[in-house]
Chains A and B, each alone.
Chain A
Amino acid sequence: MRKQILMAATAMLLTGSAFAQNFTEVLQKTFTAFDTTQDQQKKLEASNKLNLIAKKFDKEWLSSYYAAYAKVGLTYNETDVAKKDAWLDEAETFINESVAVLGKDNDETHVLKAMIANARIGVDPKNRWQKYGKVFDENLDKAKELNPDNPRIYLMRGISKFFTPKMFGGGKKAAMPYFEKTDALFVANPAMDISKPYWGRQTNAWFMGQAKGEDKE
């Protein structure tokens, strides 16, 4: 009995400490919490947790990568322009930390930089598309040079095309091939491993559904 209690206690202690220490697990859990809720308060909580993870595990490029990802995600449900920009500032700081840990950009950091640029445009499209459109393009081009099979490159392009007016070469019809390509790449590589970013599958599925509709002239 005594032995059993001790073992149980030890087991609990171990799981507790292991839980706190195991980086990938806590990251996976927090990221999933962020990515599977639509509730802004829950998103805020998960995003703040990712901040703490990034601060604690500052030798891991993934920790600040996901913190940056979450900051961008927060902006989509926010209307306060100043707040959006403040979050995007934070996202930039985090992604730069990722790059600093890596020593140089990889395809995922480029995609995330493009995502930040896209969110910047979203804050004030008329005045920002010129400046950030260029940042967006450059980063996706570089990402493609590094890894042409990264589905998020085409997802980003597709979303951008989707929201671009038809007269400037955008629209649903123009965006569809990008979503299809993204989908094919997700099918080819269905792994969902937190150590290799895999986000975007559901977003792509949603946009594919939307892009099937008719373009408004």
Chain B
Amino acid sequence: MKIKLLAAFLFFSPLAFGQSVISGKITDDKGLPVRGASISIDNTIDGSTTDSTGHFEFTTEEKGPQALIATEATHTEASFPITINGDVKDLKLSMKTAFNRLNEVVIAAGAFEASNDKSKSMLTTMDIVTTAGANADVVKAIQTLPGTQQQGTQTGLFVRGGDASEAAVIIDAMVVQNAFFSGAPGVATRSRFSPFQFKGVSFSSGGYSSRYGQALSSVLELNTLDLPEKSTVNLGFNMAGVYASGSKLWKNSGGEVSLSYNNLAPFYKLANTNVTYDKVPEGINGSGKYAWKPNKDGLVKVMFNSSAFKSSTTVPDPDSVGSQLGFGIKSQTYYGTISYRQLLKEKWNIYTALGMSYNRDDIDYKSALFSGYKFTNKDQRLQYRLEGKYDFSNRFNLMAGVELQHFSFERVFDSAGYAYTPNYTENSFALYTEAEWKPGKKIAFRPGIRYEHSELLNQDVIAPRLSMAIRAGSFGQFALAGGVFYQNPDNLYLLSGYRPKYQQAVHYIANYQWNKSDRTLRAEVYYKEYNQLVREKVSTFNPSQFRNFVIANVDNSGYGYAKGLELFWRDKKTVKNLDYWVSYSYIDTRRLYSNYLAEATPTFISDHNLSLISKYYIEKLQTQINMTYSYATGRPYYNQSNPAFLSDRTPEYHNLSFTVNYLTHIKKWFTVVYAGVDNVTNQHNVFGYRYSSDGSTRTEVKPALYRSFFVGVNFSLTEFNKDEL
């Protein structure tokens, strides 16, 4: 009986139950304790959680060889074999810090992405909208990024030593024919797009993907929204006009329409203009979009946009210094695309798109040299793209595509007794492929190759491209990019009947990027080589940038280079509600091209460019205050009395802009009141000088506006879902 009792006691004691104590400590690869890790015996619920010192302890009835499993969200799961014959204490276990998605390497050299859905992007479309001085112009906002040049009298994006023609604008992988409004010579115009229609903007200042060609310097990629977020109505007016738009979201599809009437009379009334508007720009713009999801992973988009405007301006005549030029224009544009994207079995990604555009400008030209003549510019483009991407694994994918372009340009001079209709038609064809390979989470390669054929130039070229990136530390990465890029000669030459060959640029880019909790540092150096640039063999230089005729021998003997250093710093964290970024670019570039007499730094280049952008939100006042300050060193101009070609420099450029956005609601309408001042100090920036033919007098090349004011209000009503309750 005694023995039996003893046995019973033994039976009740933990030992008799066969319970063993398992204890120890878990540390990470740096030797720091891992808190909150789950540690357990595989296939049981016997386990525990580590405390803040990494310690754990639990009991189990399991015996013999077992596996201890440790899991923790930010570490990779670890397994440790143990043998249980009684207590196992003071285990020393270690777990590896997981490489989370945020730390995965991304190909970044050369590109700035603004996106609403990527966690890594440096800018969002909202950042673009709220950049002071940009007046919600996407391209103007992009000009605050490194690699770009401040412009005041010329339209377009000037990137890393390249002129405006070297930057392509792409919407949903389709080339945009005329990204900017047509304007009088010397009057810079804005881009046609409202940033609100895009979910993502990617600005590449070099080394871009083999998907694109026909841009020696840069590609600005804009991706339109898919289905609208919600059904909304949007109304507004400002000093440039009135507009209304609406979107409707159905179950698997969505539509949007917008209409605007623009009249810049109020705007020009308040601004200091340097040109005379005989008739202020006035026009209408309409657009429509329909997006449909035929299935979970497919999307069909149809878009249409049309605009018409007219204006009449008197500007300094670029061809005759000291005299005035009357420039009347009636412009119309039509643009339509249809695209289809489909993801198949989560492996295949197919994209195909067809785009059409037509533009017509009727120009009335009254200069001192020509008492008045009319001409019409007409261009049309038909384009098609088919692209497929296959994911072999999440480490390797391969993309291939084909791009067809049909493009024609015609100019009709319609003057009494003078009929001349220069024109050309280009059919081009491109094949491209690109692979993305990530042998590890820390390293990525993206080689690509593009074949291009031009019927007009009767030429075939092959353009290889390569990007790669390697992770350095938890928050940094190095990247390299490079490639060969081709572009047709400028319209000016093709229209005059010249058929030179492709121009070429070769890019070499090295980049370092550091990202940590809302702070970003980016440094980039590059070297760019220009070959086969189109050159006119002239003996005298005509400094007008708006020449319509070329009378000289033209060949591909031009060349040049650009090299530079660019820095970007953005900080959203240090001061609450303050977001600012600084971008600085240094460039050294020279080229012999166009009608240049010698290799020189082009007239659109400032060696140093600096932009400071800040946005501060005052919660109590529901007000956002945005400021932009831009600075650029002087740019070259032509002085015929200086024997060194283009060696004079203009004064420095300064511009300070403010905008204020006040957010409120009027009934159910979300309301934004915005007001801005561009060039607050009324700085008289000079973009060059033009000398009279005898060199005795010179006139300043001025922007169309100095200080200007802009005020507007936007109301939006989102469908109130009464079904919610």
Contact = CB atoms under 8 A, between A and B. Distances in A.
A82 interface: yes
B8 interface: yes
A54 to B, nearest CB: 10
B724 A157 contact: yes
B74 A167 contact: no
Contacts of B45: 20, 26, 49, 52-53, 56
A187 interface: no
Interface in B673-725: 718, 720, 723-725
Interface stretch (B48-56, B138-146, B418-426, B580-588): B48-56
Interface size class of B (residues with CB under 8 A): 35 or more
Contact of B229 (A71, A87, A130, A167): A130
A127 B44 contact: no
A86 B38 CA distance: 15
A160 to B, nearest CB: 10
A5 B116 CA distance: 70
Contacts of B4: 2, 5
Contacts of B124: 127
A85 interface: yes
A65 interface: no
Contacts of A56: 43-45
B119 A169 contact: no
A124 B518 CA distance: 10
A33 to B, nearest CB: 12
B725 A86 contact: no
Nearest to B35: A44
A177 B718 CA distance: 19
A178 interface: yes
A47 to B, nearest CB: 8
B486 to A, nearest CB: 37
A166 interface: yes
A169 B668 contact: yes
Given A166-B665, A167-B665, A169-B720, A86 B49 contact: no
B544 interface: no
Given A48-B47, A181-B725, A86 B119 contact: no
Contact of B100 (A9, A44, A85, A168): A85
B36 A9 contact: no
Interface in B189-240: 229
Contacts of A60: none
A165 B303 CA distance: 33
Contacts of B71: 48, 51
B115 to A, nearest CB: 10
Contact of B47 (A52, A134, A154): A52
B670 interface: yes
Interface residues of A, number: 44
A41 B98 contact: no
Interface in A39-71: 41, 44-45, 48-49, 51-53, 55-56, 71
Given A5-B8, A86-B74, A166-B665, A41 B670 contact: no
Q: Which one of A90, A131, A140 has the highest number of Cβ atoms from chain B below 10 Å of its Cβ?
A: A131
A5 B664 CA distance: 77
A83 interface: yes
Contacts of A35: none
A48 B396 CA distance: 34
Nearest to A161: B724
Interface in B122-166: 124
B644 interface: no
A149 interface: no
B517 A41 contact: no
A49 B725 contact: no
A14 interface: no
Contacts of A41: 36, 49, 51-52
Nearest to B125: A130
19 contacts: A5-B8, A9-B11, A12-B12, A20-B45, A41-B36, A44-B49, A48-B38, A48-B47, A48-B71, A51-B38, A52-B38, A52-B40, A52-B44, A82-B102, A127-B116, A130-B116, A134-B229, A168-B670, A169-B668
Given A86-B74, A89-B73, A166-B665, 13 more contacts: A9-B11, A48-B36, A52-B47, A55-B43, A56-B43, A87-B73, A130-B117, A134-B229, A167-B664, A167-B670, A169-B670, A169-B718, A177-B725
- The 5 lowest CB-CB distance pairs between A and B, nearest first, are A48-B38, A86-B73, A45-B49, A44-B36, A52-B45
Interface of A: 2, 5, 9, 12, 16, 20, 26, 41, 44-45, 48-49, 51-53, 55-56, 71, 81-83, 85-87, 89-90, 124, 127, 130-131, 133-134, 140, 144, 154, 157, 165-169, 177-178, 181
Interface of B: 4-5, 8, 11-12, 17, 35-38, 40, 43-45, 47-49, 51-52, 71, 73-74, 98, 100-102, 116-117, 119, 124, 229, 517, 622, 663-665, 668, 670-671, 718, 720, 723-725
